């Protein structure tokens, strides 16, 4: 456990719990990962407040509550292989790495991907593989995945991601317009999918072949 900011991190986890996240494994992972190492140095003091923060390249690290809620909804198990689309700072990636067997994460902006790779190395998280690529086409060489998490807002779930999901697997994606989306969970069935729509969220856009065409 990283001793720096321990008090602030505990307080953040209690806040997330008070907002309704009850999965003990998720809360434990959030207690273990030093979020201040995922934000720019001058913002470290704000790392444990319940806000999204800028991480450069016009992108954000997601709000702790949203990270916790999405991770809880994804129901990740220790043996799972997980695909994440939108590495960003790598904070959510690190949480997933604590909960699963393998994490494959795709980020379209190479600066962010490289910084996230460095952070995984510094934290000794060896079950993570990060690449710079358009995540809307997925990572077919590593498929099928037990879980897929998209951490950017999309007009609809990219078809390649549904195809790369194992039968019985879950895909969680913020779906909707550019300003506001809803957390949508897809369960892959033997024939088709079951779709459930959850709470409203605000994410930066998923830009790519099966997402939005442009950032704005
Ligand atoms: N979960 C991240 C964290 O903890 O820092 C925050 C993710 S941020 C809200 C969304 C990320 O998705 C951005 O870094 C953005 O560059 C990335 N993104 C957008 N479209 C993408 C695509 N087609 N493929 C891969 N990454 C994409």
Ordered DSSP codes for 97-144 = HHHSSEEEEEES-HHHHHHHHHHHHHHT-TTEEEEES-GGG--GGG--
Instruction: Select which of 62, 89, 97, 100 is catalytic.
Output: 62
Which regions of the chain does DSSP assign to beta strands (E)? 53-56, 59-61, 81-85, 102-107, 128-132, 145-150, 165-176, 181-188, 193-201
CA R_g for the chain: 16
Domain ranges of the chain: 51-201
CA–centroid distance, 124 to ligand 1, in Å, is 22
CA–centroid distance, 8 to ligand 1, in Å, is 26
CA–centroid distance, 109 to ligand 1, in Å, is 8
Identify whether the C-beta of residue 130 lies closer than 8 Å to the C-beta of residue 186: no
Structure tokens at 153: 């807002």
Is 57 a residue of the active site?
no
Residues 135, 156: Cα–Cα separation, whole Å: 14
The pLDDT of residue 215 is 84
Structure tokens at 119: 């952070």
Tens place of pLDDT per residue across the chain (216 aa): 456 899 999 999 999 999 999 999 999 999 999 999 999 999 999 999 999 999 999 999 999 999 999 999 999 999 999 999 999 999 999 999 999 999 999 999 999 999 999 999 999 999 999 999 999 999 999 999 999 999 999 999 999 999 999 999 999 999 999 999 999 999 999 999 999 999 999 999 999 999 999 888
Q: Which residues contact 41 (CB under 8 A, 6 or more apart)?
A: none
Q: Which residues contact 63 (CB under 8 A, 6 or more apart)?
A: 50, 51, 52
The pLDDT of residue 3 is 67
Identify whether the C-beta of residue 43 lies closer than 8 Å to the C-beta of residue 91: no
Rounded to whole angstroms, what are the CA distances from 190 to 22, 80, 141, 169, 187? 30, 19, 21, 10, 10
Residues 173, 152: Cα–Cα separation, whole Å: 8
Q: Which residues line ligand 1 (CB under 6 A)?
A: 59-62, 85-86, 88-89, 91-92, 106-109, 112, 134-136, 151-152, 203-204, 206-208, 211
Class of domain 51-201: alpha beta
pTM exceeds 0.85: yes
């Amino acid at each position: 456990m990283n001793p720096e900011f321990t008090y602030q991190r505990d307080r953040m986890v209690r806040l997330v719990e008070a907002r309704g996240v009850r999965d003990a494994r998720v809360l434990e992972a959030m207690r273990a990962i030093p979020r201040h190492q995922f934000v720019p140095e001058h913002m470290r003091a704000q790392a444990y407040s319940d806000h999204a923060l800028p991480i450069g390249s016009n992108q954000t690290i997601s709000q702790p509550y949203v990270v916790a809620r999405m991770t809880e909804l994804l129901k990740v198990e220790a043996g799972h292989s997980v695909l994440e689309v939108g590495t960003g700072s790598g904070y959510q990636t690190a949480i997933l790495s604590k909960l699963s067997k393998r994490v494959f994460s795709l980020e379209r902006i190479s600066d962010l991907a490289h910084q996230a790779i460095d952070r995984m190395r510094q934290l000794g998280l060896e079950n993570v593989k990060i690449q710079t690529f358009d995540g809307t086409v997925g990572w077919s060489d590593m498929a099928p995945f037990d879980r897929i998490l998209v951490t950017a807002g999309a007009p609809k779930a990219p078809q390649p991601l549904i195809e790369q999901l194992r039968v019985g697997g879950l895909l969680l994606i913020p779906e909707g317009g550019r300003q506001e989306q809803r957390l949508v969970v897809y369960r892959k069935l033997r024939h088709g999918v079951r779709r459930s729509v959850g709470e409203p969220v605000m994410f930066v856009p998923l830009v790519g072949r099966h997402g939005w065409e442009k950032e704005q």
